[in-house]
Copies of this chain bind each other. A is one copy, B any other.
Amino acid sequence: MKIGILGTGLVGQTLAGKLASLGHDVVIGTRDPKATLTRDGADAFGNPPFRAWQASHAAVKLATFAEAARHAEIAVAALAGHSALAALRLAGDDNLANKILIDVTNPLDFSKGMPPSLFVCNTDSLGEQIQKALPRVKVVKALNTVSAPVMIAPNELGAGEHTIFVSGNDAEARSTVARLLKEWFGWKDVLDFGDISMARGSEMHLALWIRLYGLFKTPMVTIRVVR
Which residues of A line the B interface, CB within 8 A?
112, 117-118, 121-123, 157-158, 161-162, 191, 193-194, 198, 200-202, 204-205, 207-212, 215-216, 218, 220-227
Contacts and interface: CB of A to CB of B under 8 A. Distances in A.
A201 B193 contact: no
B118 A226 contact: no
B207 A122 contact: yes
Nearest to A167: B211
B112 A118 contact: no
Nearest to A154: B226
A162 B225 CA distance: 9
Given A158-B227, A202-B208, 8 more contacts: A112-B122, A121-B121, A122-B207, A194-B211, A204-B208, A212-B227, A218-B227, A222-B226
B201 A211 contact: yes
Contact of A205 (B122, B158, B205, B216): B205
A208 B141 CA distance: 14
A194 B215 contact: yes
Nearest to A226: B158
A198 B211 contact: yes
A212 B225 contact: yes
